[in-house]
Amino acid sequence: MKTISRIEKETRKRKILVVDDERINRLLLGKILEEEYELLFASNGREALDIIKSEYKTLSIILLDLLMPVMNGFELLEALEAEKRYKNIPVIVLTSEHNAEIRSLQIGAVDFIPKPYDMPEVIRARVKRSIKLAEENTVLNAVENDSLTGLYNREFFFEYAKDLDMYHNELEKDAIVVNINRFHLVNELYGHSAGNDLLRAVADSVRTLLREYIGLACRCDSDTFYLYLEHSADPSEIAGRLISDIAGRSGLSDVSVRIGIYESCDRSLTMEQRIDRAAIACNTCRSSYSSSYAFYDNELHEKELFCEKLVRDTDKALAEGQFVVHYQPKFNIEGDKPRLSSAEALIRWMHPEHGRISPGVFIPLFEENGLIQKLDRYVWNEAAKAVAEWKKNYGITLPVSVNVSRVDMYDPGLEDELLKIVSSNGLSPRDLLLEITESAYSGNSGQMIEVIGKLREDGFMIEMDDFGSGYSSLNMLSSMPIDILKLDMGFVRKICESDKDKRLVEIILEIADFLSVPVIAEGVEKEEQYLLLKSMGCNVIQGYYFSKPLPPENLGMWLARTK
């Protein structure tokens, strides 16, 4: 068996299992059918069941004698009926009883062939018709297939991947994940039917592999494909071939894919964990503009173990106060002199073993497993306490912005929680600004608009964080309720070196002007960046040029000086 996809059945001879205890009958049927079909033989039900176990996905039909030793035809039919995955294989009963038609059909057969086999044409016609009917039927009931690409869907992929291990236990396997870079852009720029064509092109490329390697594939989450294949001596070659084949078939020059490979899977892992490892490797492909591939290796494994440890340590860390919040001042630069106008709360983890861990390491992790909600609530509380403390000590209310992760936005208790935090610290919603990253707006934007609308009615101000890093369409921007645009650091970094980036910032400032919202530039490290942004009309600056994020006491000292 080289592949277990339906495609094979279409391109190769269909496979028939003949089950009869009499050798002469097997020979006769063999002669009649061998030209058109590939034949397998069994001399009793038990032998047949063994063959069916490994071949059920490629068998087009079973021709079954009823009276046999060891396990007879009726018993085999019962066994097939009991097993979900065997149900789709049609069975034709071979019988010498002349009135056997009704009985055969009653026990689950689709047809019968009378013995002796003296009418070869009739036999061939019955076999052909039964196969055709069964195939049409599977097409109609193709719930196991993704209707767009014809590959398996996720659920069946995992079920059949486990079977593949069982029946090809001797083979090592590779797990592969293929993802289309910026697929939503293809839909947006070229339309949904072009998006669908691209998905089919990827599926076709995957299928060409399945003709050569034992394995199976599925599509899930719109533009992600999973493959589970017999191990290849050179998986890079497979990745390279997929990349060039997809480029060739798609016909779109700016389309690229990233591929993650987990070679020679460890069998002690679940199938989901094996695919996860390929997905982890896939996510390390950096460029989203050109195709690339990556392997799951020791380094990634170490990183995964480290991440697992961090997750295990989190509750203890929260209880022991290992998480501390620092505050980075933001300055309004509209006037002659920069004026401290607010600060951003940024979390740090002072880990007793690993030292200071950057949020860039643990935030994405916590966003995946939901821990982020707990952590964010902690930060919001700490931030509100700090604002109240400064107010008490220095008589100055310095508003602080907190990061609200995408996951928080789907929490029905969010609004109550935020209101409770501000009121219990004697503050107003104006004192706690909410930073929501641009990419959180994509997806269910209807729900986002609703949630943000409510928060704004309560008096909270919304900053759209990392603006320009996502792909918000202008259309979406104008309908999004926001109060401040926060320019992505990537632009600021290059603003003095690249005219293109400078121009982009100008455009964003024009958009902000059109929307009547102020713009914050973050990541400003140099004087020339600050001066250029000021001359372009940017309103607020945050960055190392003015100050790194500081512990609350230090920011308090700053406030004491401004007083």
179 binds, among Ca ion, ligand C2E, none (CB under 5 to 8 A by kind): none
By the 8 A CB rule, do 76 and 64 touch?
Answer: yes
What does the alpha-carbon distance between residue 532 and residue 14 come to, in Å, rounded to a whole number? 71
Distance (Å, rounded) from C-alpha 563 to C-alpha 559? 6
73-132 binders of ligand C2E (CB under 6 A): none
What is the nearest approach in angstroms of Ca ion to the Cβ of residue 435?
A: 4
Contact stretch for ligand C2E (CB under 6 A) within 293-301, 422-430, 472-480, 517-525: 517-525
Min dist. Cβ of residue 487 to ligand C2E (A): 10
* Nearest in space to 83 (alpha carbons), one of 168, 163, 155: 163
Binding residues for ligand C2E restricted to 429-468, rule: CB under 6 A:
465-466
Q: Between 393 and 422, how does the x/- string for binding to ligand C2E read (CB under 6 A)?
A: ----------x-x-----------------
Instruction: Give whichever of 255 and 371 is closer to ligand C2E, judged by the CB atom.
Output: 371
Query: Could you tell me the smallest distance in angstroms from the CB atom of residue 182 to ligand C2E?
Result: 21
User: Which segment (127-135, 386-394, 501-509, 519-527) binds ligand C2E by CB under 6 A?
Assistant: 519-527
| E strand or H helix at 467 | strand 462-467
What is the rounded CA–CA span in Å between residue 157 and residue 227? 9
Which of 340, 435, 320 is closest to 380 using CA atoms?
435
Tokens at 428, concatenated: 């107003």
Q: 58: Cβ–Cβ under 8 A, 6 or more apart, which residues?
A: 1, 4, 8, 9, 15
Residue 399 CB, shortest distance to Ca ion, in Å, is 14
**Smallest gap from residue 522 Cβ to ligand C2E (A):** 6
Which phi and psi (to 5°) does residue 559 adopt? -60, -40
If one asks whether residue 544 binds ligand C2E (CB under 6 A), the answer comes out as yes
What burial letters (b/e) apply to 269-306, b meaning 16+ CB within 10 Å?
A: eebeebbbbbbbbbebbeeeeebbbbbbeeebeeeeee
| CA-to-CA separations, 550 to 383, 396, 543, 544, 562, in angstroms, rounded | 13, 18, 12, 11, 16
Instruction: Measure CA of the first residue to CA of the last residue in the chain; give whole Å.
Output: 80
**Residue 232 or 342: which CB sits closer to Ca ion?**
342
* Location of structure tokens 């002796």: 116
Residue 342 CB, shortest distance to Ca ion, in Å, is 12
Q: How far is the CB of 267 from Ca ion (least distance, A)?
A: 43
Contact string (CB under 6 A) for ligand C2E, positions 354-373, x = contact: ----xxx--x--------x-
347 lies in the binding site for ligand C2E (CB under 6 A):
yes
The answer to whether residue 379 forms part of the interface with ligand C2E (CB under 6 A) is yes
Stretch that binds ligand C2E, among 202-210, 275-283, 298-306, 522-530 (CB under 6 A): 522-530
Tell me which of 90, 338, 468, 549 binds ligand C2E, using CB under 6 A: 549
Residues that bind Ca ion (CB under 5 A): 403, 435, 465-466
Is 529 an interacting residue with respect to ligand C2E (CB under 6 A)? Answer: no
> What are the DSSP E strand ranges found in 108-196?
111-114, 173-180
**Cβ atoms within 10 A of the Cβ of 213, count?**
17
* Helix 414-424 vs helix 371-394: crossing angle, to nearest 10: 20
Residue 10 Cβ vs ligand C2E, minimum distance, rounded to whole Å: 50
| Residue whose CB is less far from Ca ion, 174 or 466 | 466
Least spacing, CB of residue 213 vs ligand C2E, in Å: 41
**522 forms part of the interface with ligand C2E (CB under 6 A):** yes
What is the DSSP secondary-structure string of 177-239? EEEETTHHHHHHHH-HHHHHHHHHHHHHHHHHHHTTSSEEEEEETTTEEEEEEE--S-HHHHH
SS3 label, residue 330? strand
Q: Is 520 in the site for ligand C2E (CB under 6 A)?
A: no
CB of 468 to ligand C2E, least distance (A): 12
Distance CA 507, CA 501 (A): 10
Judged by CB under 6 A, the stretch of 50-58, 224-232, 281-289, 516-524 that binds ligand C2E is 516-524
Closer to ligand C2E at the Cβ: 246 or 387?
Answer: 387
Beta carbons within 8 Å of 354's beta carbon, 6+ residues apart: none
Size of the site for ligand C2E (CB under 6 A): 21
Stretch that binds ligand C2E, among 78-86, 87-95, 111-119, 541-549 (CB under 6 A): 541-549
Please identify which residue in the block is written with the tokens 């109609």.
Answer: 140
Question: Pattern 475-514, binding to ligand C2E, x per CB under 6 A?
Answer: ----------------------------------------
The token pair at 399 is 């508003």
- In this structure, the strands spanning 323-332 and 540-542 are antiparallel
CB of 458 to Ca ion, least distance (A): 20
Taking CB atoms, the residue at the shortest distance from Ca ion is 435
Contact residues for ligand C2E, defined by CB under 6 A: 328, 346-347, 358-360, 363, 372, 376, 379, 403, 405, 465-466, 522-525, 543-544, 549
